Amino acid sequence: MTSADMDYLTIALPKGKLFAPSVDLLSKIGVSANDVHEKSRKLVISNEEKKVRFIITKTGDLPTYVEYGAADIGIIGKDVLLEESKDVYELLDLKFGLCRLMVAVPQALKKDKISDYAHMRVATKYPNVAERFFREMGIQMEIIKLNGSIELAPMVGLAEIIVDIVETGRTLKENQLLEIAQIHKATARFIANRVSMKMKFDRIHGIVEDLKCLLESEDKQ
């Protein structure tokens, strides 16, 4: 078992763009193991000496692993946390992986205000975030859940609007999409299971403090 083992700390890392900086950051505070890389064939990578285990999961699944206590702690983007709304501790903003969740439309479709877009179709990987955002704006939309290449949807008439994450906005420009509203800024977050946070408090809190110090010292440089 993983988190049932009180001696070990199980850390979940997400595949994708947050993986490398996460491994890098943790290794700087001495939380590491040999062979932690994204293409690892091993599903659970242990460091017997430091009593840590790493598991590598799909991004969208990571909060679930932590919520159920299959992993004690993890690193994941705020965008995923907003979408999944799992009951986990969000302990620290790690500052890297900055992107923003936003609403965009084809330039030709631009309207004066958000409510003018009511009842249009929204393509997104983040149906819950999109639903919440438009509800708070007081408008109803038809949400279409996709798993990737969201920009394609308005080009081929699957949807009029998209809700997606962007880093630089270049993809938007290339596809003649215009950002009309920002929903949330997102960076990588350090999260913990609510029971692990109590039962392994000293270790987890120690890591958080180390990470905080590290981030502050990097900030100053």
Instruction: Count other C-beta atoms under 10 Å from residue 87's C-beta.
Output: 10
Site residues for other proteins, 158-187, by CB under 8 A, read none
The token pair at 71 is 């992993």
Residues 105/43, Cβ–Cβ less than 8 Å: no
Pick from 35, 118, 205, 218 the residue near other proteins by CB under 8 A: 205
What is the nearest approach in angstroms of other proteins to the Cβ of residue 109? Answer: 33
What is the nearest approach in angstroms of other proteins to the Cβ of residue 200? Answer: 9
What is the nearest approach in angstroms of other proteins to the Cβ of residue 117? Answer: 28
Q: What is the separation, in whole angstroms, between the first and last Cα of the chain?
A: 41
Length of the chain: 221
The token pair at 206 is 């120690």
Rounded distance between C-alpha atoms, residue 75 and residue 80, angstroms: 11
Q: Where are the alpha helices (DSSP H) in the chain?
A: 19-28, 62-67, 78-84, 127-136, 152-155, 170-174, 196-199, 201-220
5 binds other proteins (CB under 8 A): yes
What is the nearest approach in angstroms of other proteins to the Cβ of residue 199? Answer: 5
Pick from 20, 118, 155, 195 the residue near other proteins by CB under 8 A: 195
Site residues for other proteins, 44-73, by CB under 8 A, read 66-70
Of 195 and 213, CB closest to other proteins: 195
DSSP assignments along 22-52, one per residue: HHHHHHHTT---TT--TT-S-SEEEETTTTE
Of 55 and 159, CB closest to other proteins: 55
107 three-class SS: helix
216 binds other proteins (CB under 8 A): no
92 binds other proteins (CB under 8 A): yes
Of 73 and 166, CB closest to other proteins: 73
Pick from 51, 194, 206, 213 the residue near other proteins by CB under 8 A: 194
> Which residues of the chain form contacts with other proteins (CB under 8 A)?
1, 3-6, 66-70, 78, 87-93, 189, 193-199, 201, 205
